[in-house]
């Protein structure tokens, strides 16, 4: 088979996942959760509370979107929450140092995001380190970096700046600006994955990296670029965290985001072995997690149970994937 033939065959061997059953199941679960908590509390389905849910899930949604991309190409990033924390601190500190210039703060956060994202990618690709181990190390290192930069305290105050106030608390056409940012990011990534050669190649890499390499796809370049993209979007999430809370947060607000992002991506249909996934399913999963978390809070249920629920949902998502794959369960006879 020639290289040209292999290129033509690659998209056919790694088809995009159909949005059918997976998304319908998620939509049904979301409706059920909304209905249940709506019955238990008459204020749960109020417009103001739904807006609270939407704003609260924006940062998780951004990280879940890029987590979906890296899972599709066979990787994983456990450090996204810590990256957002570093970006949050840097954005506030740069804002203060530049005489309350929001653009400087945002640019500094974006620059840091690119650097830490590329660092993850380079360690994984050229250091030949497993993505889980590499980004687990990044989780600890970036969290420590954020605490070192900030001395473990919230930094700066940005609510006297029109740009940060607009990002964190403004609205356009009745929707919070944060939600618009999530929607536009989701649309851009969806188009990238679905309608471009880049997206096809990412699915090919995750589906069968050997075949992708034989087809002439530069796997190393793609992987480093994907991790750099994660860094940029994590930086955006960090900026929004700063705008929403009013200061740079080294840990508070960003801790635990990696679990939420991975859970949402897995629930949304992203196969942890790569090659399958989509942005629509991820957004539905983010909405489901947000509604569940808010509903438990409204009902006054101990917040620790929210972590239990997230862990249980991640296990359920992986079990469903395993059953659908048809592979033999570990430890059981064929």
pLDDT in tens, 42-91: 889 999 999 999 998 999 999 999 999 999 999 999 999 999 999 999 99
Confidence of residue 4 (pLDDT cuts 50, 70, 90): very low
pTM attached to this predicted model: 0.88
Residue 120 within any structural domain of the chain: yes
**CA distances in angstroms from 40 to 24, 37, 45, 56, 319, listed in the order given:** 24, 5, 10, 21, 30
> For residue 138, what are the domain limits?
59-282
CA trace torsion 259, 262, 268, 270 (10° rounding)? -160
pLDDT at 142: 95
Domain count, the chain: 1
Residue 10 within any structural domain of the chain: no
**Residue 211 token pair:** 């075949």
Mean pLDDT of 291-296: 90
Residue 45 within any structural domain of the chain: no
Residue 278 within any structural domain of the chain: yes
Residue 254 pLDDT > 80: no
Residue 163 within any structural domain of the chain: yes
Task: Show the beta-strand stretches assigned E in the chain.
Answer: 171-172, 175-176
Distance CA 168, CA 58 (A): 11
Residue 112 within any structural domain of the chain: yes
Residue 102 CB contacts under 8 Å (≥ 6 apart), including other chains: 95, 158, 161, 162, 163, 164
pLDDT at 330: 57
**Residue 185 token pair:** 């990011």
Residue 274 pLDDT > 80: yes
Name the burial class of residue 13, with classes exposed (0-12), middle (13-18) and buried (19+) by CB atoms within 10 angstroms of its CB. middle
| Residue scoring higher pLDDT (170 or 313) | 170
Residue 4 within any structural domain of the chain: no
Residue 221 within any structural domain of the chain: yes
């Amino acid at each position: 088979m020639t290289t040209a033939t292999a290129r033509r065959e690659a998209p056919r061997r790694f088809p995009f996942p159909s949005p059918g059953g997976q998304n319908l199941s998620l939509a049904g679960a979301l409706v059920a959760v909304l209905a249940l908590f709506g019955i238990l509390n008459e204020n749960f389905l109020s417009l103001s509370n739904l807006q609270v849910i939407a704003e609260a899930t924006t940062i998780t949604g951004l990280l879940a979107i890029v987590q979906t991309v890296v899972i599709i190409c066979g990787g994983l990033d456990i450090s996204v929450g810590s990256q957002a924390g570093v970006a949050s601190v840097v954005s506030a500190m740069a804002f203060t140092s530049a005489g309350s210039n929001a653009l400087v703060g945002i640019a500094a956060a974006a620059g840091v995001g690119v650097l830490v994202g590329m660092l993850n990618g380079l360690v994984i690709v050229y250091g030949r380190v497993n993505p889980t181990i590499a980004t687990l190390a990044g989780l600890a290192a970036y969290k420590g970096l954020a605490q070192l930069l900030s001395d473990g305290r919230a930094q700066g105050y940005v609510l006297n700046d029109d740009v940060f106030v607009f990002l964190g608390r403004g609205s356009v056409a009745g929707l919070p600006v944060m939600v618009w940012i999530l929607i536009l990011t989701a649309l851009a990534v969806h188009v990238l994955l679905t309608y471009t050669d880049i997206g096809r190649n990412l699915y090919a890499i995750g589906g069968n990296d050997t075949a992708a390499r034989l087809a002439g796809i530069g796997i190393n370049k793609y992987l480093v670029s994907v991790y750099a993209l994660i860094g940029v979007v994590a930086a955006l999430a960090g900026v929004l965290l700063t705008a929403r809370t009013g200061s740079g947060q080294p840990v508070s607000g960003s801790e635990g985001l990696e679990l939420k992002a991975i859970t949402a991506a897995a629930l949304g249909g992203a196969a942890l072995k790569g090659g399958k996934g989509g942005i629509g399913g991820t957004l539905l999963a983010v909405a489901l997690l947000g509604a569940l978390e808010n509903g438990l809070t409204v009902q006054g249920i101990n917040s620790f149970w929210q972590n239990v629920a997230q862990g249980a949902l991640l296990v359920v998502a992986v079990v469903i994937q395993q059953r659908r794959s048809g592979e033999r369960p570990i430890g059981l006879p064929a």
